[in-house]
Homo-oligomer: A and B are copies of this chain.
């Protein structure tokens, strides 16, 4: 857009940027910031500077600081979900797919730990505050994984690998996954992989249709 155009259209084109879009844009530019300084330590000033806008402008698009954080976390989780769906398809067997489901708690790679530590901090906030919004959001996240897991198990059942009862254990598996994550966060000496293997072995002992 040339200066002339800007001048002519200045009033006619009141930058009707889609608020929601701009919101996303700002949050996106701060996406890495949250890993660097941590959720709690993130200041509005930092966010504004990183997004290259004024502090006051932040409040044009976000209710408050929590709202910013919320949007950033949303982005992270969206990314994670996307990746998850992509990767889960690469796993061949049902057992591997279920195992992949525990990857978040098991994988010690730098990349995953960044997500994991971020989630840890996020969880800390969810636990400490009476933030309805975050709590609800948290539930919706669970739904995503519940759907995924249900799909995996159903496929196993359809393929004749698993008993029908397997589907009843979807939530049990999810609870265990949460247990594993929290164990990793709070028990220094726990061997997460072993704990995961034991569970999956037991699980499949229960629901697998043995062929002999």
- Report which A residues bind B (CB closer than 8 A): 3, 6-7, 10, 14, 40, 54, 56, 120-121, 123-128, 135-136, 138-139, 142, 168-169, 171-172, 174-183, 185-190, 195, 198-199, 202, 205-206
Decide: B168 and A198 in contact? CB cutoff 8 A. Answer: yes
Enumerate 18 A-B pairs (CB-CB under 8 Å) in ascending A order.
A3-B3, A3-B7, A10-B10, A121-B128, A124-B124, A124-B127, A126-B186, A127-B186, A136-B188, A138-B186, A169-B202, A171-B190, A175-B199, A176-B179, A178-B179, A178-B182, A202-B206, A205-B206
Q: Which residues of B contact A172 (CB under 8 A)?
A: 176, 195, 198-199, 202
Shortest C-beta distance, A121 to chain B (Å), equals: 6
Nearest first, the 6 closest Cβ-Cβ pairs linking A and B are: A179-B179, A124-B127, A124-B128, A175-B179, A178-B179, A178-B182
Q: A175-B180, A176-B176 are in contact. List 10 more A-B contacts (CB 8 A).
A: A6-B10, A123-B182, A124-B127, A127-B186, A139-B188, A172-B176, A172-B195, A175-B179, A179-B180, A181-B182
Decide: A135 and B188 in contact? CB cutoff 8 A. Answer: yes
Which of B7, B128, B181 sits near A128, CB closer than 8 Å?
A: B128
Q: CA A135 – CA B187 in complex, angstroms?
A: 7
Write the chain B residue with the least CB distance to A105. Answer: B175
Q: Which residues of B contact A126 (CB under 8 A)?
A: 185-186
Q: Which residues of B contact A135 (CB under 8 A)?
A: 186, 188
Write the chain B residue with the least CB distance to A189. Answer: B139
Known: A7-B6, A176-B176, A206-B205. A198 touches B186 (CB 8 A): no
Which of B40, B142, B182, B190 sits near A187, CB closer than 8 Å?
A: B142
Which of B120, B127, B175, B179 sits near A185, CB closer than 8 Å?
A: B127
Decide: B7 and A187 in contact? CB cutoff 8 A. Answer: no
Shortest C-beta distance, A78 to chain B (Å), equals: 19
Q: Which residues of B contact A136 (CB under 8 A)?
A: 188
Shortest C-beta distance, A194 to chain B (Å), equals: 8
